[in-house]
A and B are shown apart, each in its own frame.
Chain A
Amino acid sequence: MAAITHLLKLEVPAAITSISSYSSSLALYLKAQILTYLCRTENIEEPTSEVQRAGLFTESEKLCRTILKNLSFEEEITRLKLEYGNSE
């Protein structure tokens, strides 16, 4: 649980976010994946309750939705840039 709490507190560093939307999405994806993995893995010494587990899955889902939104937005922007370039 300590690992999960620590992971939840982690924010994507501004240095990564500033590079591109793809980099920050990748960082968020890794966070979501580790979170899902930790929820799935049973820790015998410190078991996660069902309520906690559901909350963590919701958090992971939220991260996935953010990634989908960000990436498709970036895809749209790139598309528009290319179209604008072509018309020029």
Chain B
Amino acid sequence: MVSVAVIALVPTGSTLAVEADPPLIYSGFAFSGDFQNRDRLYPITAQISRDRNGTFLDEILRQKVMARPALASRLKLDLADGKQDISSVAFALVNENVETQRVDGKLWVIVTVQANVLAFNRASNSLVASYPLRVRSARVSETMPGSAELQAMVREVYTTSNTSENIFDQWLNRLETIKLRKGARKYLRVTGVTMTPQAESIVKASGKDATSIKNQTANFLEAAVAEAGGIPIVPNSVGEAIGSKMAYRFANGSDLQLTLPDPDYSLTFEIRDFVSKKIEKAAYFQDIYRVKATVELKQPDLEQVILNEGVYDTAIITRPKQADVQLADWDQYYKTLQSLIQQVGKQMTHVDDAWLKDNASRESAAKPAFENTNQLIQKLL
């Protein structure tokens, strides 16, 4: 097995340094969502977290905090019960995903870990702000990896000494750069991911669970927008939140039922279709995969639509006939979907004419809506 790439998806929009701000309460490592779903949502991390009597991950994070004196002086590390009336911060795990993709005849194993810098007030159980971040780690393998190998890959995301590849280091970097605004603010949230019947039929025909894909899509979209814009975003919790409450469970066994604010701007994403075409040439095959979607951003109280555009992304793969390489359609679709979401996140922050021409259904006619979105994102900083 050869390690090929580790991609740390780090936001670029926010560069504010830590100031001499009053302290925050360190609440440590937390799993987002219901405790009973923990093993299903985060199967590998849940296993890892049981090491050292359940304190393994929190200890690593705590040591990393201590290694940053400026930050450590700002964080109260005594795992207070949070009754004090100042803001707390937690590493809130949102998503753990292991996927395999057969690309160009090789088996890629991709681990994605997504977490939030969750700032909240425990006395009132209210959200202050939430900043998503992700680390993706990819390896090429000849064979399908076993559970021990997968666990080693996920463990590496938490333990590696390479700070650019470590989710905890990324979390700390993010914590150092955010600046929580004083007073009332505007909240953006991914409120829904849907699929048309034809898109859903392709997901099901590929043996995938449509609900799971929707949840993953919501997580990707949330992170893509927040990272590109450097903005906080209310956790989407698609499939996990009951009403406006979101549960978190900490390493010390304490729990939190956070009241999530009503979104002031709701972001929805509809996957309209997965289409593909195979072209045979003299020396090679060409496989074209396209994912079509609609992205909508609106202000629900005024029923004001800011953005409602059809978007798509295309992947073209050339296979030499002699190579006899087989492609798994779903893997290509999923890779293309992720690419589309990543690009949509960027366009919502800074619109690119060339991208619109190639990826927006209405091409340049979509520009005003994306520009309005860009302006709105600036107001959410």
The answer to whether A binds B is: no
